Amino acid sequence: MRVRTGSTRGAIGRPYRAVGVRREELWAVGASTIETVELPYGRGDDFELVRSADELSVRIDGVPTTESVPELERLGAGRSATYVVRAKRLDGALFEIDVEPL
Tell me whether residue 87 is in a domain.
Answer: yes
Tell me whether residue 30 is in a domain.
Answer: no
Alpha helices in the chain (DSSP H): 70-77
Cα 31 to chain centroid, rounded: 14
Q: Is the pLDDT of residue 3 over 60?
A: no
How many independent structural domains does the chain possess?
A: 1
pLDDT digit string, tens, across residues 59-99: 999 999 999 999 999 999 999 999 999 999 999 999 999 99
Q: Is the pLDDT of residue 48 over 70?
A: yes
Please tell me the predicted confidence (pLDDT) of residue 7.
55
Tell me whether residue 2 is in a domain.
Answer: no
Among the listed ranges 15-19, 31-35, 60-64, which one has the minimum average pLDDT value?
15-19
Region 34-60: mean pLDDT is 94
Q: Parallel, antiparallel, or unpaired for β 63-65 and 56-60?
A: antiparallel
Domain housing 57: 36-101
A 10 A CB-CB count for 55 gives 7
In the chain, what are the helix, strand and coil shares in percent, each to the nearest 5? 10, 50, 40
Tell me whether residue 52 is in a domain.
Answer: yes
